[in-house]
């Protein structure tokens, strides 16, 4: 019997992660939550003393629990579970950073111009509520609109205006009419902007929210670690759970792959759409994305494991995609790597997945770690 993944635990943590702002570059708060979660799963005491340590995670972060936890200097986290084979180690990653924005300019009107962080198109955020994260800790809400949003003022132009960055602005929910008044709030160029995730779990088992890419997978890794730790099952090989914080801008796992890693599974959203086999109810296994083919042997083994354990799965080619596994490979890691994850509909827009897809992903990872 394979250890069971506690799906309620996964879903609870997922909602907490989704509702904590974490655009790439602004992840300290969410990483503190991640550290706390792994410390609770691993049974070790929480505290700052475990940071740093050996680069293979061997001695760096033991807290008396089953998981050794350490942080990378750039803010990522690695939780290590010792396995029977300590030489041929395995790495599972998920990224906790998300799309977002940054204040580019304070306009004479007191409204804000912004630049996107990661690949959020203006279409996908038009009308979205957002939060400006001022450097002094104050938070201000606003709405992302076109510069000609009022239909009763701009008529046809309101419809026809091209949706591109220079035509978008943020209307602050503050009584400001000049740049000086906005600055007086503590808002400045360089402040991070978080999009409202609009997280909702429906009775039919769907979870719809922004940023399921890739917080769903972070929650999956919590569930997988908990299943193994609680069942007191040692994985076949020492396994690192790596939560990265710069994936959306391309360099999440370009640093931090422990040196004894032989196999690396980046757990990230599975693509869903026309010409794609996967859906929200299965684990998607990526054969190839824009960065090239992933490891053939790993793909075959994962498909075999899914079949043997009756886990709903599909193999796909992702047309516009790169992952932390590609970042690690490009940075020179000598690893065999692949991407898998629950199918996510409408990625980088109003995303949605289903509890069944999340469960399939967690189940396949548990089966893999025991194989």
Q: Is 356 in the site for Zn ion (CB under 5 A)?
A: no
Q: Is 268 in the site for Zn ion (CB under 5 A)?
A: yes
Instruction: Look up residue 108 and give its DSSP letter.
Output: T
Of 157-165, 183-191, 267-275, 293-301, the window that binds Zn ion (rule: CB under 5 A) is 267-275
- Distance separating alpha carbons of residues 222 and 15, to the nearest angstrom: 13
- Distance separating alpha carbons of residues 76 and 35, to the nearest angstrom: 10
**Residue 325 C-beta: closest distance to Zn ion, Å:** 11
Would you say the C-alpha torsion 93, 283, 4, 83 has a positive or negative sign?
Answer: negative
Active site residue 247: yes
**Residue 198 C-beta: closest distance to Zn ion, Å:** 18
**Residue 95 C-beta: closest distance to Zn ion, Å:** 6
Of 106-114, 184-192, 265-273, 280-288, the window that binds Zn ion (rule: CB under 5 A) is 265-273
89 or 98: whose CB is closer to Zn ion? 98
- Distance separating alpha carbons of residues 327 and 307, to the nearest angstrom: 29
Contact assessment for residue 213 and residue 344, using Cβ atoms and an 8 Å cutoff = yes
Cα-based distances in Å from 148 to 72, 145, 166, 311, 318: 44, 8, 12, 49, 36
Of 127, 271, 146, give the one whose Cα is nearest residue 213.
271
169 or 268: whose CB is closer to Zn ion? 268
Q: Is 289 in the site for Zn ion (CB under 5 A)?
A: no
Residue 25 corresponds to which tokens in the numbers above? 């570059």
How many C-beta neighbours within 10 Å does residue 174 have? 15
Which x/- pattern over 195-234 shows residues binding Zn ion (rule: CB under 5 A)?
------------------xx--------------------
In terms of DSSP H, where are the helices of 120-230?
122-125, 151-154, 156-160, 179-184, 212-230
Count of positions on this chain that bind Zn ion (CB under 5 A): 3
Which x/- pattern over 29-68 shows residues binding Zn ion (rule: CB under 5 A)?
----------------------------------------
**Residue 266 C-beta: closest distance to Zn ion, Å:** 9
35 or 324: whose CB is closer to Zn ion? 324
Of 82-90, 193-201, 260-268, 359-367, the window that binds Zn ion (rule: CB under 5 A) is 260-268
Would you say the C-alpha torsion 361, 363, 365, 368 has a positive or negative sign?
Answer: negative
28-42 and 7-18 are packed helices; what angle lies between their axes, rounded to 10 degrees? 160
62 or 96: whose CB is closer to Zn ion? 96
Of 63-71, 235-243, 268-276, 303-311, the window that binds Zn ion (rule: CB under 5 A) is 268-276
Give the residue closest to Zn ion by C-beta: 214
**Residue 291 C-beta: closest distance to Zn ion, Å:** 13
> Could you tell me which residues come within 8 angstroms of residue 207 by beta carbon, excluding any fewer than 6 positions away?
11, 14, 15, 199, 200, 201, 216, 352, 353, 354, 355, 358
99 or 168: whose CB is closer to Zn ion? 99
**Residue 272 C-beta: closest distance to Zn ion, Å:** 13
215 or 313: whose CB is closer to Zn ion? 215
Burial of residue 310 (number of CB atoms within 10 Å: 0-12, 13-18, 19+): exposed
Q: Is 324 in the site for Zn ion (CB under 5 A)?
A: no
**DSSP annotation string for 191-218:** -EEEE----EE-TTSEEE-TTHHHHHHH
248 or 263: whose CB is closer to Zn ion? 248
112 or 358: whose CB is closer to Zn ion? 358
Nearest 5°: phi and psi at 286? -90, 115
- Catalytic-role residue among 68, 128, 169, 247: 247
**Residue 220 C-beta: closest distance to Zn ion, Å:** 13
**Residue 334 C-beta: closest distance to Zn ion, Å:** 24
Instruction: Report, as residue numbers or ranges, the catalytic residues.
Output: 247
Would you tell me which residues interact with Zn ion (CB under 5 A)? 213-214, 268
């Amino acid at each position: 019997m394979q250890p069971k993944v506690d799906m309620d635990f996964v879903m609870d943590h997922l909602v907490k992660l989704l509702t904590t702002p974490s655009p790439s570059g602004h992840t300290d708060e969410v990483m503190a939550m991640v550290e706390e979660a792994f410390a609770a799963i691993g049974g070790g005491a929480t505290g700052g003393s475990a940071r740093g340590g050996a680069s293979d995670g061997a001695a760096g972060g033991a807290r008396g629990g089953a998981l050794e936890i350490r942080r990378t200097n750039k803010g990522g986290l690695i939780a290590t579970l010792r396995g029977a084979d300590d030489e041929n180690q395995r790495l599972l990653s998920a990224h906790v950073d998300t799309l977002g924005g940054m204040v580019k300019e304070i306009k004479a009107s007191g409204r804000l111009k912004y630049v996107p962080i990661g690949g959020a198109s203006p279409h996908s955020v038009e009308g979205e509520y957002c939060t400006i994260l001022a450097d002094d800790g104050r938070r201000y809400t606003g709405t992302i609109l076109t510069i000609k949003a009022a239909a009763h003022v701009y008529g046809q132009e309101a419809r026809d205006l091209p949706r591109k960055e220079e035509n978008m602005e943020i209307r602050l929910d503050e009584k400001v009419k000049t740049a000086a008044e906005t600055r007086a709030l503590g808002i400045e160029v360089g402040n991070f902007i978080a999009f409202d995730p609009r997280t909702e779990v429906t009775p039919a088992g769907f979870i719809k929210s922004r940023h399921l890419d890739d917080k769903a997978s972070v929650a999956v890794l919590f569930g997988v670690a908990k299943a193994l730790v609680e069942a007191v099952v040692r994985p076949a090989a020492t396994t690192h759970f790596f939560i990265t914080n710069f994936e959306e801008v391309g360099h999440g796992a370009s640093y931090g792959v422990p040196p004894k890693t032989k196999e690396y599974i980046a757990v990230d959203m599975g693509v869903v759409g026309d010409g794609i086999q996967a859906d929200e109810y299965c684990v998607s296994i990526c054969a190839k994305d824009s960065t090239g083919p992933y490891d053939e042997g790993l793909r075959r083994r994962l498909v075999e494991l899914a079949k043997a354990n009756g886990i709903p799965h599909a193999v796909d080619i992702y047309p516009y995609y790169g992952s932390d596994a590609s970042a690690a490979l490009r940075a020179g890691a000598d690893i065999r790597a692949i991407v898998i994850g629950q199918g996510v509909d409408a990625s980088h827009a109003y995303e949605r997945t289903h509890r069944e897809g999340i469960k399939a992903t967690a189940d396949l990872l548990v089966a893999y770690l025991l194989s």
